[in-house]
């Protein structure tokens, strides 16, 4: 593995933290986020092959300035949910069509919707975007909602796993989580409420790592099976505390980059082997980026690209490349399942 700073060109763009970075084809769509003074609703596009920045002209119902929202690709459309700015928190859904750069705010069927939040996660599985956790400005959250995106023009929300009080990790009043007709065990263990964690989908399993409830920086890994609606804690002997990190699936590994460990911002590269469920630290060569959190990372063409972030003082506008030794990580890529 080898770090280098990407030689970017093209349109100037703002240094950002808590923005979204989403890959469609070979283009990285960077939306929102903030610098040290304000939040934004600009859209920047980075050509991940040429490292060329552009600022497309957008039309339609542009979202308000946001940070710590999620952006999920559904085909060639991007689905933005939640986020906020200062004291404001939102639970709105916006859609960007990356073909014509038109923003829309679709009508959501039904009257159910997650509470307003930011610093949550969102993952796509079988025409559903699964939203977990975040915070609403008063408390951290640990509920799971599913946004049906089988028809982008007729989206609807469903509560999949109900929230708990964040003290003992149990459903309030002994409630059966999720209202699923008792399929989920009452008062089953589940992660503490949190935001600034990461979530990744492997098959039907949602893998949650780290995050914070505003007081504690977590080191735990949890798996939620969206088919059986069961949470399981993963027992890992050596642990690392992280919040505001990124976690990217590469083959059968989860690559965790940067974040805050409860004491300081890190530039570590940690590998979670999803087959053995154990952490692995490998030697990384080259000049690494400075320690940071609230950045974005994605995989393109056997490279991880890390964009922006914040080190507690400075907000970054740089792009970093982590070249992967492909044979070392893709060997197990074809078929593996999470057995927890």
Residue-number span of the structural domain to which 110 is assigned: 2-330
Q: Tell me what the mean pLDDT of segment 45-74 comes to.
A: 97
Evaluate whether residue 338 is within a structural domain: no
Residues 6+ apart with CB under 8 A from 329: 250, 251, 252, 253
Evaluate whether residue 50 is within a structural domain: yes
Q: Which residues pair with 55 in a beta bridge?
A: none
Residues 6+ apart with CB under 8 A from 205: 223, 224, 225, 226, 338, 340
Evaluate whether residue 159 is within a structural domain: yes
**pLDDT on residue 337:** 72
Evaluate whether residue 175 is within a structural domain: yes
CATH classification at residue 172 = 2.120.10.80
Whole-model pTM: value is 0.91
Evaluate whether residue 117 is within a structural domain: yes
Considering its fold, how many domains does the chain have in total? 1
166 pLDDT above the threshold of 80: no
Q: What sections of 33-107 are H helices per DSSP?
A: none
Place of tokens 């609606």: 229
Cα 166 off chain centre by: 21
Over residues 322-332, the pLDDT tens digits come to 999 765 555 55
**pLDDT on residue 149:** 97
Q: Percentage helix, strand, coil, to 5, in the chain?
A: 5, 45, 50
Spatial contact of 200 and 207, defined as CB atoms under 8 Å apart: yes
**Coil, helix or strand at residue 225:** strand
Banded pLDDT at 163 (limits 50, 70, 90) = confident
Evaluate whether residue 116 is within a structural domain: yes
Evaluate whether residue 337 is within a structural domain: no
Over residues 245-290, the pLDDT tens digits come to 999 999 999 999 999 999 999 999 999 999 999 998 889 999 999 9
Evaluate whether residue 286 is within a structural domain: yes
Pairing label, strands 303-310, 315-323: antiparallel
Residue 245 burial class via C-beta count within 10 angstroms: exposed 0-12, middle 13-18, buried 19 and up: buried
């Amino acid at each position: 593995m080898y770090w280098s700073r990407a030689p970017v060109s093209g349109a100037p763009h703002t240094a950002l933290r808590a923005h979204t970075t989403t890959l469609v084809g070979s283009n990285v769509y960077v939306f929102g986020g903030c610098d040290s003074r304000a939040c934004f609703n600009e859209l920047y596009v980075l050509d991940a092959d040429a490292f060329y920045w552009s600022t497309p002209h957008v039309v339609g119902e542009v979202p308000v300035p946001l940070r710590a929202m999620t952006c999920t690709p559904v085909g060639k459309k991007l689905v933005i949910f939640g986020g906020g700015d200062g004291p404001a928190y939102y639970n709105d859904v916006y859609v960007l069509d990356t073909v014509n750069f038109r923003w829309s705010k679709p009508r959501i069927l039904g009257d159910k919707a997650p509470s307003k939040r930011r610093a949550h996660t969102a993952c796509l599985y079988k025409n559903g975007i699964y939203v977990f956790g975040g915070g609403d400005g008063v408390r951290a959250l640990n509920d799971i909602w599913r946004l049906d995106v089988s028809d982008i023009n007729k989206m609807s929300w469903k509560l999949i796993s109900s929230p708990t009080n964040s003290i003992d990790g149990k459903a309030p009043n002994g409630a059966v989580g999720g209202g699923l007709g008792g399929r989920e065990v009452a008062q089953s263990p589940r992660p503490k409420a949190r935001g600034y964690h990461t979530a990744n989908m492997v098959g039907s399993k949602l893998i949650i790592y780290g995050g914070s409830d505003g007081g504690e920086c977590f080191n735990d890994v949890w798996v939620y099976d969206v088919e059986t609606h069961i949470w399981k804690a993963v027992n890992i002997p050596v642990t690392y505390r992280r919040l505001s990190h990124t976690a990217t699936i590469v083959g059968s590994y989860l690559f965790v980059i940067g974040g805050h460990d409860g004491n300081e911002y890190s530039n570590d590269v940690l590998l979670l082997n999803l087959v053995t469920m154990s952490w692995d630290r490998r030697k990384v060569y080259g000049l690494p980026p400075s320690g940071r959190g609230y950045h974005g990372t994605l995989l393109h063409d056997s490279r991880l690209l890390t964009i922006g972030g914040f080190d507690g003082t400075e907000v970054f506008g740089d792009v970093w490349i982590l070249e992967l030794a492909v044979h070392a990580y893709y060997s197990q890529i074809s078929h593996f399942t999470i057995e927890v």
